[in-house]
Amino acid sequence: MKWLDSFFEKKTRQVAQSASRRSALVKVGKLFVGTAFILPVLPFDRMNPNAHAAEGKKKVDVDDETSCDYWRHCALDGFLCSCCGGTVTTCPPGTEISKVTWVGTCRNPHDGKDYLISYNDCCGVAQCGRCFCNRNERERPGYRLGVHNDINWCMANTSNTYNCTVAAIVGVGEPRG
Ligand code: ABN
């Protein structure tokens, strides 16, 4: 195996003569720095692939009055009265409809028209706790009270206790000509 030793010795000497230690270190240094800058910007998918799968499977029912996806609920923040012993337009027994309200605008996917929806709270019984829904389409910040939905609209009733929210159609928009 002497020939092998002398072969490698010869090669090592050749490399040592043609390349300085400093230039070798510079090359290694460049490799490290380049890796540090380039690797973080590579397009890794950090999302959980199962999250996408779940998204694909979620069924949106725009006609189910007990679902937050129901088209009239596009700007409702609260518990759905349709899950609390009432309906989408009537308060549960023992509660009273709020005297003040806020209105939102939702598009009916069946006729393509925009409807003015009054979101009244039902008051007088402790919060229902079922079918919480929080959608905020076209909602505006809280300093514009009438177009903000995160408000207890039982404020003007005898009892301010909030139970759930109904969504009644109070107007229809004219299509733009
Ligand atoms: N309009 C529903 C509601 C009630 C109490 C507090 C926030 C929002």
Nearest CA to ligand 1 atom 2: 78
Mean pLDDT of 127-146: 83
What pLDDT score was predicted for residue 139? 74
Average pLDDT for the chain: 83
CATH of domain 71-172: 2.60.30.10
Q: pLDDT-based confidence at 2, cuts 50/70/90?
A: confident
Place of tokens 């040592």: 16
Instruction: Write the pLDDT tens digit of every residue in 60-101.
Output: 999 999 999 999 999 999 999 999 999 999 999 999 999 999
What pLDDT score was predicted for residue 172? 95
Instruction: Write the pLDDT tens digit of every residue in 18-51.
Output: 666 666 566 656 766 665 655 555 554 555 555 5
Q: How far is the CA of 151 from the centre of ligand 1 (A)?
A: 5
Highest-confidence segment of 7-11, 57-61, 110-114, 143-147: 110-114
What pLDDT score was predicted for residue 123? 98
Amino acid, single-letter form, for residue 26? V
User: Given the CA of residue 102, which atom of ligand 1 is nearest to it?
Assistant: 1
**DSSP calls for the chain:** -HHHHHHHHHHHHHHHHHS-HHHHHHHHHHHHHHHHHHGGGS----S-HHHHHHHHHPPP-TT-TTSTTSGGGTT-EEEBGGGTTS-SSSPPTT-EE-SS-EEEEEE-TTT--EEEEEEEEEESS----SSEEE--TT---TTSGGG--SS-GGGGSS---EEEEEEEEEEEPPPP-
Q: pLDDT-based confidence at 124, cuts 50/70/90?
A: very high
> Measuring CA to CA, which residue among 118, 133, 109 is closest to residue 166?
118
| Beta pairing partners, 118 | 103, 168
Q: pLDDT-based confidence at 115, cuts 50/70/90?
A: very high
Nearest CA to ligand 1 atom 3: 152
Q: Going by DSSP bridges, is the β-strand pair 96-97/77-79 parallel, antiparallel, or unpaired?
A: unpaired
162 lines ligand 1 (CB under 6 A): yes
